[in-house]
Amino acid sequence: MSRIGKKPIPVPDGVQVFVDRRNVVVEGPKGRLAWEHRPEVAVAFQESDRQIVVSRQNDQRRSRALHGLTRALVQNMVTGVTVGYERRLEIHGVGYLASLQGQVLQLRVGLANELQVPIPDDIEVTVPDQQHVVLRGIDKQKVNQFAAEVRARRKPEPYKGKGIRYQGEQVRRKQGKAMAK
């Protein structure tokens, strides 16, 4: 049995959970998330204990694989509507900077043109200074996907370390041609 899948998900006060067939809806102080789970697993909300229980229909390989995944995704929904998710990006390089222009993130990262990245509606972006970008939202997948898209515009390069990286990310550095002689 899946160790992660069989753990019940505690639902804090102020969060409402609705389970209708395969649809799971979680509402909290930060917003509302809805998701449709696979038919191989079953999701049930126990009102008396204020917890969500995920169970699988059988012991087939696919059901076992989806058991823990479903539990983790529902847990992320509960965390998202109560606390939310945040991802921080750092910009390293001389002349590299970020700015916010309405619903567009502008990046100057050593290319001929300034990059214009449109911000999705459900993600809040702040730029505390020119070298840092903070992304916040209630959907973990969307926040991390947008962070990955921004980082992909100029990945950190291994020789000088210039580029966009996640906060705390270690970039493996190479010596370069001059050190080889």
Within a domain: 3: no
| 178 in any annotated domain | no
Does the predicted TM-score (pTM) go above 0.85? yes
Pull the structure tokens for residue 92. Answer: 């390293």
Note whether 145 and 128 are within 8 A (CB).
no
CB contact at 8 A, 93 and 77: no
33, 65, 82 - which closes a domain: 82
Q: What angle do CA 114, 106, 141 make, to 5 degrees?
A: 125
Kindly give the confidence (pLDDT) of every residue in the chain, 181 residues in length, as a single tens digit, with 9 standing for 90 and above. Answer: 568 888 999 999 999 999 998 999 999 999 999 999 999 999 999 988 999 999 988 889 999 889 999 999 999 999 999 999 999 999 999 999 999 999 999 999 988 999 999 999 999 999 999 999 999 999 999 999 999 999 999 999 999 989 999 999 898 988 888 765 6
Give the pair of three-digit tokens for residue 67. 């058991």
Please give the structure tokens belonging to residue 66: 């989806």
CB 72 within 8 A of CB 55: no
Q: Are residues 70 and 107 in the same domain?
A: no
